[in-house]
Amino acid sequence: MPFRFSRLEIPEVILVQPQALEDQRGFLLETYKRSEFAAAGIPDVFVQDNYSHSSRGVLRGLHYQKPPKAQGKLVTVFRGTIFDVAVDIRRGSPTYRRWVGVTLSSGDRRMLYIPAGFAHGFCAISDEADVIYKVTEEYAPELDRGILWNDPELGIAWPLHRPIISPRDAQLAPLERADNSFVYGGSRA
């Protein structure tokens, strides 16, 4: 069951469309196949899966994990609909401070690959949303960081006017003042 891979406006962020086998009983699809992902330019090995449940209006992010445990992510929605965002935080990158956002849903079954060096966030735009995302490094709380979801320098066009935010996320700094050591080209600051 092949996948379709589409590079977005920031080419390192890739939209993945799995192909389903459907009949009157339902469907079967592969959500990940290492050989096909590697052939499409995603050689990462995923080592941990995370599950998130959110109600309508919940916004989570913008989060990232610092090196040496920086995380690439593969985001999948198993129930509901989210608006998913990746922000390039690699200093020196031609797309530094730019963001891409896509709507992902259980209905369209699309996934989003976000490499290390990007902050990630999403908001639930359905009554409930269940999101599972694979990551390339295990969670390391001492390296967990984030950026303010409504940083005016980023100008993310969230589809919510008054999202439900955690106290931690509400206190995050804008990108300009964030604890960020990512540098374009794979080296660290």
What is the tens place of the pLDDT at every residue in 40-63? 999 999 999 999 999 999 999 999
Is 32 among the catalytic positions? Answer: no
pLDDT digits (tens, 9 = 90+) for 68-104: 999 999 999 999 999 999 999 999 999 999 999 999 9
Q: What is the distance of C-alpha 148 from the center of its chain?
A: 15
Does pLDDT of 189 surpass 90?
Answer: no
Does pLDDT of 1 surpass 60?
Answer: no
Quote the domain boundaries for residue 138. Answer: 45-177
Instruction: Count the neighbouring beta carbons within 10 Å of the beta carbon of residue 107.
Output: 11
Q: Considering 63, 64, 113, 120, which one is annotated as catalytic? A: 63
Is 96 among the catalytic positions? Answer: no
Share of the chain above pLDDT 70, in %: 97
Residue 130 lies in a domain: yes
More confident: 112 or 23: 112
Q: What is the reported pLDDT for 187?
A: 44
**Local confidence band at 126 (pLDDT 50, 70, 90 cut-offs):** very high
Q: Report the candidate in 105, 109, 132 with the shortest Cα–Cα distance to residue 1.
A: 109
Residue 51 lies in a domain: yes
**Local confidence band at 186 (pLDDT 50, 70, 90 cut-offs):** low
Instruction: Give the global pTM.
Output: 0.93
Q: Considering 64, 113, 120, 133, which one is annotated as catalytic? A: 133
Residue 35 lies in a domain: no
Question: Residue 142 is part of a domain; what is its CATH number?
Answer: 2.60.120.10
3-state secondary structure 42-99: CCCCCCEEEEEEEECCEEEEEEEECCCCCCCEEEEEEECEEEEEEEECCECCCCCCCE
Q: Per the structure, how many domains does the chain have?
A: 1
Does pLDDT of 133 surpass 60?
Answer: yes
Residue 75 lies in a domain: yes
